[in-house]
Structure 1
């Protein structure tokens, strides 16, 4: 049975625990970075069709990390909103050095 979280701050430690493997975190980071590049390119070129790549890239990189390296099911399946938020908070935390990918 899935645990219910009252807030994102309660969920985030669980999220990080589900991302202990460095390769999984690296794939999350790369996928998120590519999503940002796609969004910037769409804004510059107005080629809106490229937005179709956003979920494919974002989830694709993350899910490869989970299934190949972490050996767990992505939190997205049980906690979709908090998981999406966790992706971007972890991305920020990697950029600021709070979470390591090395």
Structure 2
């Protein structure tokens, strides 16, 4: 897919970095690359070789093992570098969440919490139905712990 400008590539790039942990890995990769470049200028010139290794290494780790996609660098190396630096600055200044909202990306944490609540609700109902005595040990819904004994009492009353 050919991109003609940064404005066209930026939404695609952010879609490839939808998880906050992927963006954090990129941030630390870019930070270590910058630190290696500064060290190469002021200390030892050969430290410059560690800049791309650390920067791309941490970023690519996040794509393969966190995000589960192929790095955009493979198809668009120039645009990816520019967008990585833009993302680094946005994270450094605390404006990344605002940018994600502007692009219409939903924070992944909210999606995960919603999925966890629905899955844990199924397990909670399963525990009540098949193991009423174990429902006191479940802690899926901390806000609903006050109603656990009441539901158990209803279950016991109905089973008699």
Partner of residue 60, structure 1: 57
Secondary structure of the 1:30 match is helix
- Alpha-carbon distance between aligned partners in 1 of 2:35 and 2:60, rounded to the nearest angstrom: 19
Does 1 or 2 have the higher relative contact order (CA < 8 Å, sep 6+)? Answer: 1
Q: Indicate the structure with greater helix content.
A: 2
Partner of residue 97, structure 1: 94
**What CA RMSD, in Å, does the superposition of the two structures yield over aligned residues?**
1.3
- How far does residue 98 in structure 1 lie from its aligned partner after superposition? 1.9
The unaligned stretches of length 5 or more in structure 2 are: 98-108, 110-160
Secondary structure of the 2:96 match is coil
- Give the number of equivalent residue pairs: 98
Partner of residue 15, structure 1: 13
Q: Match for 1:86 among 80, 83, 88?
A: 83
- Alpha-carbon distance between aligned partners in 1 of 2:8 and 2:78, rounded to the nearest angstrom: 14
- How far does residue 25 in structure 1 lie from its aligned partner after superposition? 0.6
Partner of residue 129, structure 2: none
- How far does residue 10 in structure 1 lie from its aligned partner after superposition? 1.1
Structure 1 stretches of 4+ with a deviation exceeding 2 A read none
Partner of residue 118, structure 2: none
Secondary structure of the 1:39 match is helix
Partner of residue 41, structure 2: 43
TM-score scaled by length of structure 1: 0.90
- Alpha-carbon distance between aligned partners in 1 of 2:49 and 2:41, rounded to the nearest angstrom: 14
Partner of residue 76, structure 1: 73
- Alpha-carbon distance between aligned partners in 2 of 1:70 and 1:96, rounded to the nearest angstrom: 23
- Alpha-carbon distance between aligned partners in 2 of 1:33 and 1:55, rounded to the nearest angstrom: 11
